[in-house]
Structures are given as C-alpha cells and as structure tokens.
C-alpha cells in the first residue's frame, strides 16, 4: 500500500478540471478492458500538452523486479506514438468488477514522469476527493 502524502506540504495541490476527470475515466475504462487478476490490475492514463490521451496497464511478472507499472506502460505508449510533452497522469487500481482506487505513483514512476516534465500534474487522493499536484512536489529533493 502506498504511503499517504502529507498534503499540507504540497505547494501545487489544486482541484481537478473536467479534462482531469475524463482522464480518470480513461484509466478506469482501460482497467476494465484489460483486467486480469494478479497480472493486470493497475491502469494509467496520460494526457499530453496537445490533449492526446494514452493509456497503459501494468504487467505483473513472475519475478518482481521485472514488473512494469501502469504509468510506465502509458508513458511507453505515448512515446511510441511520438508524444513526449506530458501534462497530467493518473493511475487506477481496478478489481475488474467495478471497484477502483486512485494510486499515487511509486518512486520509480515519479522519477520517470519527472524526467519527461517536472511540471506534469499527478492526480492523487481518493476517487471521492481527488486532487492534483506537480510530480516535482512528490520528489522534493530531486535536483534541488
């Protein structure tokens, strides 16, 4: 389970736009379409600065170090289509039966997202109370 962020220290915390809620729905749709228990349970959706949306699903490997997170899968999809300017990203866990949970990106995903754009918005919180922060706020000591 991901550690809860201390939201009082996140400078960029802000409310979601209509486009952000649509991004959550795109991640849910991907989770539903591609779900396989214990193999594909986390989906992500990424929006570029030119408003394209790319999605991905995580791949659980037999050896843990080879797992591919949903966020990385979405980034790979975007890059394979020539998109590198990221605006926002969201990850959703789904059970394949209509239950979902927003997830905060792991440390590796935070690093990769930040490598593309440290100002990328990351949608976190809960589905009942989502908010977004800049990925740079989730990596406060990267390139201080």
Question: What is the span of the domain harbouring residue 57?
Answer: 13-125
User: Is 106 inside any structural domain?
Assistant: yes
The model's pTM: 0.89
pLDDT tens for 8-44 read: 456 778 899 999 999 999 999 999 999 888 788 899 9
- Among residues 2, 25, 38, 71, the one annotated as catalytic is 71
User: Is 136 inside any structural domain?
Assistant: no
Mean pLDDT value of segment 67-73 = 95
First to last CA, the chain: 28
User: Is 95 inside any structural domain?
Assistant: yes
User: Is 141 inside any structural domain?
Assistant: no
**Where residue 88 sits, what CATH number does that domain have?**
3.40.140.10
Please report the beta strands in 38-129, taking only residues with DSSP state E, as ranges in sequence order.
Answer: 42-48, 53-57, 86-94, 100-103, 121-125
Q: Is the pLDDT of residue 62 over 60?
A: yes
Domain count, the chain: 1
Q: Is the pLDDT of residue 144 over 70?
A: no
User: Is 140 inside any structural domain?
Assistant: no
User: Is 90 inside any structural domain?
Assistant: yes
**So what's the pLDDT on residue 9?**
56
User: Is 37 inside any structural domain?
Assistant: yes
Give catalytic status of residue 71 as yes or no. Answer: yes
Q: Is the pLDDT of residue 64 over 90?
A: no
Averaged pLDDT of the chain: 90
At 10, give phi and psi (nearest 5°): -90, 105
State the Cα–Cα distance between residues 73 and 69, nearest whole angstrom. 6
How sure is the predictor about 77, in pLDDT bands with cuts at 50, 70 and 90?
very high
User: Is 118 inside any structural domain?
Assistant: yes
State the Cα–Cα distance between residues 5 and 11, nearest whole angstrom. 12
């Amino acid at each position: 389970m991901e550690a809860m962020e201390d939201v009082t220290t996140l400078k960029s915390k802000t409310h979601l736009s209509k486009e952000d809620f649509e991004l959550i729905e795109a991640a849910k749709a991907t989770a539903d379409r591609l779900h396989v228990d214990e193999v594909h349970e986390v989906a992500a959706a990424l929006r570029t600065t030119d408003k394209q949306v790319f999605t991905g699903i995580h791949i659980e490997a037999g050896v843990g170090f080879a797992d591919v997170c949903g966020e990385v899968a979405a980034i790979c999809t975007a890059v394979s289509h020539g998109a590198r300017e990221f605006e926002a990203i969201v990850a959703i866990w789904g059970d394949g039966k209509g239950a979902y949970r927003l997830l905060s990106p792991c440390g590796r995903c935070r690093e990769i997202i930040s490598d593309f754009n440290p100002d990328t918005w990351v949608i976190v919180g809960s589905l009942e109370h989502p908010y977004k922060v800049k990925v740079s706020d989730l990596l406060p000591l990267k390139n201080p």
